[in-house]
Structure 1
């Protein structure tokens, strides 16, 4: 009973719900063997009998009886006189098993043993948590906001596991309060030291893909396949879908009547504008669909260099480029082509790079970021709109437009 009392006194692990009693006793045996090695130099001649049902263990030291005065190894040998104090009929050469009480190890050894035991159990728990969440990588998970920091939100799940949602994995419009539930995908799990670091993401394309699986039965059942997802988190996304069943309209099934099916996904993502597109192996047709809602007049592909020259009517250009250049950039990511837009019927135009003697390179780069690479493409835009879409000052934009107009006035 003495050993039971000592084991039960280790309250840090006694009521731990994350570890079953059998595993606990196995850890106990390992810890006690380490303690025996420290005290006696070895543990080979010790038997540790674990009783997981009772929550007890027994330690027995096995020694050989030798004649008085001939003990060379006190750990493995016992004198005849000492042996007969245990049992009066022992003879030289016989084996003696003597129970070791935990108290015999000494107070300092017990304190060290206790600390080692707690450390081993925490290590076991952390390993289990790591394995549990490693299996959940790429899956949707829900946890509660526990603490809001400048660079991250700390979440806790129902079991008290800590999950980190970094600022750069949050949708720009996200705003969470303490106690609020947050959904995202488990993006990565790493062991730093012995502690697992679990990272959640709401900006990963995989999060949108998993939301489709949750909300749209045909995707969950495999009747509709998501071929690729590209996103500007919180702004716009494009999802290419396909079905091997000709009776199913994959786009219609995903969007639903008047957008009923996709509405909850859009709301979860801070009103992210989601274009669902029918996938095809026909690159010209795929690019045409990817640039929706713009209507394309013609496309010239360079399949080797993965570039596409797209011709549109002037009024369709802004639709193809989209706000902030999001539409054309996502269409390029979705199709794997670098897409250049040209205006139909415009015979005379000049590329912006021809003006490097009058316009600084970084200014030209700002226009290129939003898909404006020619003089007339810039001149067709509204100044206020360009201020919103670029990092340029209004005065700079007006100066550029003046330079470009002068080219055509001449």
Structure 2
């Protein structure tokens, strides 16, 4: 048959693609009608019969019989002589149906038909894929590493769909090899030309929230609500949780016995340190809990400017700030307040300066040496005995005396 190439196409797409019979038939008819329009100028008087299951199709052209020499539109009309070649008893005014073979469209048209068919099927697949993953935005998804690029990891799911995990959406400690299974959240679906690009993220706050839903039954069942999540991916996170049932301890339920429940989440996130906090509408108590593990003495809130002064004993300051300032930064993001740390003590004692403020006069590596033994302010260094500092640090006595002189000048001024 001259339509063999197209018949092969029907079978190929019907078997390989997740496409229903009605949609396939509609696409095929649309492709044929476009070809007929190009060939005959109109497809209004054509009937197309398609049976994709059998790989069979027929095209019939309907024309009206007119007297010889009176044909004005060859596509719509046929002369009596030509009509009687089809059926000898036709008369003027009658309708004639004549089958059109694909070979009559020409070899080029047949090749174009196949290409058009492939294009339409791909377009349909892309539209379905876009809709499918648009509905999955915000959900956890698992896919396998196909190959690793410098700026992204390309993943493939069980259906062969390609998913992109950009470098900036990866946790800093993430390391992937081909064949690894990767979990993340579908963050976005972007159209690149006609092809959808599916973006996965492992750094999103939503990923951590969904992990809580997946790993903690009470969160999944709605007995515990995750009120807010803030995180510095791979470093630290704070999660505020609440329960409308007073019999349930939301923090205890999320953490589990000896951290058993949260351990899997921590491991998934590259050992990200997760603080689970009991949510409350009491702003002072909420800020105090958010600054855990530091113990807050008192809090002064400036609602108008969205700021809060947090008063802490000297030994609690470093806990409140945390390594790299992560703890206080996340506490601020969680509560929505800009937090100012105020050290408690006498008026004179209260005046203190972070060692990092002296970076113009004291080299960074020297400041780091003091930080290693828990000394991060000027007064915390000045309270120490010089001989003791020589013993506890890798600094020479001359260097320490020089630092002490610089720090004393600050307070003398």
Partner of 1:90: 90
Partner of 1:72: 72
Unaligned runs of 5+ in 1: 382-397
Deviation at 1:102, TM superposition (A): 1.4
Change (3 A) 1:281 1:292: same
CA offsets, 1:307-350, max 9 Å, x none? Answer: 00000000000000000000000000000000000110052326
Deviation at 1:208, TM superposition (A): 0.3
Partner of 2:327: 327
In the alignment, the residues of structure 2 paired with residue 111 and residue 63 of structure 1 have an alpha-carbon distance, to the nearest angstrom, of 27
Partner of 2:225: 225
Between 1:235-244 and 1:49-58, the stretch displaced more is 49-58
CA offsets, 1:42-65, max 9 Å, x none? Answer: 111111123344333221111111
Deviation at 1:132, TM superposition (A): 0.7
Query: Is the 1:208–1:229 Cα contact (8 Å) retained in structure 2?
Result: yes
CA RMSD of aligned residues (A): 2.8
Deviation at 1:190, TM superposition (A): 1.4
| 2:61 partner SS | strand
| 1:293 partner SS | coil
| 1:93 partner SS | coil
Query: Is the 2:5–2:114 Cα contact (8 Å) retained in structure 1?
Result: no
Aligned length: 385
In the alignment, the residues of structure 2 paired with residue 400 and residue 71 of structure 1 have an alpha-carbon distance, to the nearest angstrom, of 108
Unaligned runs of 5+ in 2: 369-374, 385-400
CA offsets, 1:220-266, max 9 Å, x none? Answer: 00000000000000000000000001110000000000000000000
Partner of 2:409: 406
Deviation at 1:91, TM superposition (A): 0.6
TM-score by length of 2: 0.87
In the alignment, the residues of structure 2 paired with residue 239 and residue 204 of structure 1 have an alpha-carbon distance, to the nearest angstrom, of 13
Structure 2 residue 20 is the aligned partner of structure 1 residue 20: yes
Deviation at 1:406, TM superposition (A): 1.6
Partner of 1:270: 270
Partner of 1:241: 241
| 2:54 partner SS | coil
CA offsets, 1:335-381, max 9 Å, x none? Answer: 000000011005232668xx89x959xx9xxx9xxxx9986589899
Query: Is the 2:308–2:338 Cα contact (8 Å) retained in structure 1?
Result: yes
Deviation at 1:15, TM superposition (A): 3.0
In the alignment, the residues of structure 1 paired with residue 166 and residue 74 of structure 2 have an alpha-carbon distance, to the nearest angstrom, of 59
Partner of 1:105: 105
Deviation at 1:19, TM superposition (A): 1.9
Partner of 1:389: none
In the alignment, the residues of structure 2 paired with residue 256 and residue 133 of structure 1 have an alpha-carbon distance, to the nearest angstrom, of 33
CA offsets, 1:169-197, max 9 Å, x none? Answer: 00000001100000000000012211000
Query: Is the 2:148–2:154 Cα contact (8 Å) retained in structure 1?
Result: yes
Partner of 2:51: 51
Partner of 1:385: none
Query: Is the 1:375–1:404 Cα contact (8 Å) retained in structure 2?
Result: yes
In the alignment, the residues of structure 2 paired with residue 379 and residue 146 of structure 1 have an alpha-carbon distance, to the nearest angstrom, of 57
Deviation at 1:401, TM superposition (A): 8.0
Query: Is the 1:219–1:226 Cα contact (8 Å) retained in structure 2?
Result: yes
Change (3 A) 1:404 1:71: farther
Partner of 2:294: 294
| 2:261 partner SS | coil
In the alignment, the residues of structure 1 paired with residue 205 and residue 195 of structure 2 have an alpha-carbon distance, to the nearest angstrom, of 28
Deviation at 1:6, TM superposition (A): 3.7
Deviation at 1:213, TM superposition (A): 0.3
TM-score by length of 1: 0.87
Partner of 1:212: 212
Change (3 A) 1:399 1:97: farther
In the alignment, the residues of structure 2 paired with residue 153 and residue 6 of structure 1 have an alpha-carbon distance, to the nearest angstrom, of 38
Change (3 A) 1:77 1:223: same
Change (3 A) 1:344 1:95: same
Query: Is the 1:7–1:56 Cα contact (8 Å) retained in structure 2?
Result: no
Partner of 2:395: none
Deviation at 1:399, TM superposition (A): 9.2
| 2:13 partner SS | helix
Change (3 A) 1:149 1:204: same
Query: Is the 1:359–1:400 Cα contact (8 Å) retained in structure 2?
Result: no
Query: Is the 2:8–2:55 Cα contact (8 Å) retained in structure 1?
Result: no
Deviation at 1:23, TM superposition (A): 1.8
In the alignment, the residues of structure 2 paired with residue 170 and residue 379 of structure 1 have an alpha-carbon distance, to the nearest angstrom, of 43
Change (3 A) 1:33 1:217: same
| 1:9 partner SS | helix
Spell out the pairing of 1:305-316 with structure 2 (5 A cutoff): 305-316=305-316
